[in-house]
């Protein structure tokens, strides 16, 4: 049988070690969280912006083996109008207005999300846009719905958590508080 002082001796050794591990974990999280916030914004912004480019006349530029698409015109193409007329069934809005608004949303909101400028507003707008996209396209397969759920979750996290330190919102707030 152990004597009372020896009975808890392991606690005096393990607690400082756990404290150091906990401190190390929090320091790593402090370094990685801004990167994770940025990557979530970057990924979702890329998805929506790429989708917007498919609805416009776009060009491409190849640099160092990478091809970048860019909009030649920000106006929807005739095929985009046809999609909104016959495929997408956006509630309440006429198809032509839905085509213009949808294309504009997919090209502008991701830029704000990527830059971290008005991030929560952009995330909320894209979150709602994402829901409308799923509701408006009934032929979406299960894999497509799953993708929209992931995008919605990342947008919801950004909406609740904010843009993080790697954003213009963060820099503007720091500048204002000086």
The pLDDT tens digits of the residues spanning 69-120 come to 776 787 898 999 999 999 988 989 999 999 999 999 999 999 999 999 999 9
Residue located via tokens 């759920």 = 149
Rounded Cα gap, residues 141 and 139, in angstroms: 6
Half-sphere exposure for 130 (CA within 13 Å, toward CB): 26
Q: Which two tokens stand for residue 50?
A: 């790429």
At 157, is the pLDDT very low, low, confident or very high (cuts 50, 70, 90)? very high
At 59, is the pLDDT very low, low, confident or very high (cuts 50, 70, 90)? confident
């Amino acid at each position: 049988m152990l004597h009372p002082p020896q009975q808890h001796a392991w606690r005096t050794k393990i607690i400082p070690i756990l404290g150091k591990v906990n401190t190390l974990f929090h320091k790593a999280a402090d370094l990685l969280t801004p990167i994770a916030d940025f990557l979530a914004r970057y990924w979702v912004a890329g998805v929506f912006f790429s989708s917007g480019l498919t609805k416009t006349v776009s060009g491409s530029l190849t640099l160092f083996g990478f091809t970048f698409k860019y909009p030649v015109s920000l106006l929807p193409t005739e095929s985009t109008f046809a999609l909104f007329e016959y495929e997408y069934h956006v509630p309440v809005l006429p198809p032509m207005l839905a085509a213009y608004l949808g294309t504009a949303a997919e090209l502008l909101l991701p830029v704000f999300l990527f830059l971290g400028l008005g991030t929560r507003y952009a995330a909320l707008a894209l979150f709602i846009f994402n829901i409308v996209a799923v509701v408006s396209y009934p032929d979406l397969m299960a894999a497509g719905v799953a993708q929209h759920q992931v995008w919605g979750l990342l947008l919801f996290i950004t909406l609740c958590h904010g843009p993080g330190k790697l954003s213009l919102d963060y820099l503007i707030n720091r500048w204002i508080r000086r």
